């Protein structure tokens, strides 16, 4: 019978040395591959030769895009980070979103979505109520209710309302303005300014100059009070032949109205 002889096992220190040697060799090979890839990607043949821009470009010329975005692009066609490229284009004024894609062999395709201004925005100073005009800077609100910064001179010719409220309330205020505006249009008027206090009290300034205190409450309650006012006020204005200066809709059973040269009260009740 032939005896089986096992090879003598290596001492632990030898096995550890072999494992460390293999690990170091693998790390060296990996580092060499990374360095080679970096060198290869930076070859002149992979330089970005052209950038094609598609989408909304009505407020940005090719010159403004080059001046604002290109200095922040780094790397070649292969090495450039698409996320960094997206951020570079989204930092351009008026750009809301950007999508950057590689197009072989040396071109970038950039798809832009610009902000569509819907209103001016004023952030109410902390502690300011709906009647206060204290605000911090005037910015813009886009059609999604997002606040953004851009050259206000670019929208001077556009008839935009003013929204003034606490930080973070722009989307809710734009929605409220749209609903109030729809009710106003039935009486051939419009909401020129909408204020919201930190305590949730609404104030409306109409295009014809009337200032309305809508008070607090749910969206449905505020719109119901405003709709009632819009339904009744043409009759009151016609009766007294005087424009409305202000109205207080914060009463439980009616509202108080101030006309130019006339003062009247409609069913006074407990103020909200």
Looking at the chain, the number of H-run helices and the number of E-run strands are: 5, 13
Both tokens assigned to 104: 């072989």
CATH C-level class of 117-266: alpha beta
Give, in degrees to the nearest 5, the angle at Cα 209 between 208 and 215. 115
CA–CA dist 210, 137 (Å, integer): 25
- Distance from the first to the final alpha carbon of the chain: 107
CA–CA dist 211, 38 (Å, integer): 65
* 177 Cβ neighbours under 8 A, 6+ residues apart: 119, 161, 163, 191, 194
CATH C-level class of 47-114: alpha beta
Both tokens assigned to 257: 């109205």
If residue 114 lies in a helix (H) or strand (E), which one and from where to where? strand 107-114
Q: Where in the chain is the domain with CATH 3.40.50.11690?
A: 117-266
Per-residue pLDDT of the chain (272 residues; tens, 9 = 90+): 455 555 567 677 677 777 777 777 777 677 655 655 555 445 454 577 888 899 988 888 888 888 889 888 888 777 788 999 999 999 999 999 999 999 988 889 999 999 999 999 999 866 556 565 555 678 999 999 999 999 898 887 789 999 999 999 999 999 999 999 999 988 888 999 999 999 999 999 999 999 999 999 999 999 999 999 999 888 888 888 888 899 999 987 778 888 887 755 555 444 45
Specify the pTM: 0.76
Q: Which of 157, 155, 120 is nearest to 141 (CA)?
A: 120
The pLDDT score that the predictor gives to residue 45 is 46
Q: Where in the chain is the domain with CATH 3.10.20.310?
A: 47-114
Contact (CB, 8 A) for 105 and 73: no
């Amino acid at each position: 019978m032939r005896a089986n002889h096992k090879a003598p096992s290596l001492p632990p220190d030898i096995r550890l040395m072999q494992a460390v040697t293999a690990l170091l060799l693998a790390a060296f090979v990996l580092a060499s591959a990374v360095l080679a890839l970096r060198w290869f990607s930076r070859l002149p043949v992979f330089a970005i030769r052209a950038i094609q821009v598609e989408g909304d470009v009505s407020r940005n010329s090719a010159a403004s895009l080059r001046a604002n975005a290109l200095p922040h692009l780094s790397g070649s066609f292969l090495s450039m980070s698409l996320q960094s490229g997206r951020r570079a284009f989204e930092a351009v004024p008026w750009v809301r979103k950007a999508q950057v894609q590689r197009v072989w062999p040396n071109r970038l395709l950039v798809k832009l979505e610009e902000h569509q201004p819907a209103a001016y925005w004023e952030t109410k100073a902390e502690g300011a109520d709906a009647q206060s005009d204290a605000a911090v800077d005037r910015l813009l609100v886009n059609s999604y209710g997002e606040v953004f910064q851009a050259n206000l001179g670019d929208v001077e010719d556009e008839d935009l309302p003013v929204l003034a409220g606490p930080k973070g309330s722009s989307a809710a205020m734009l929605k409220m303005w749209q609903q109030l505006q729809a009710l106003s249009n039935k009486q051939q008027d419009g909401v020129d300014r909408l204020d919201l206090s930190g305590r949730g009290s609404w104030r409306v300034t109409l295009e014809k100059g009337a200032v309305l205190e809508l008070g607090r409450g749910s969206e449905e309650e505020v719109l119901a009070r405003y709709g009632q006012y819009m339904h009744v006020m043409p009759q009151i204005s016609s009766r007294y032949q005087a424009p409305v200066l202000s109205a207080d809709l914060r009463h439980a059973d009616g509202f108080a109205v101030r006309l130019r040269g006339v003062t009247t009260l409609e069913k006074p009740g407990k103020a909200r």
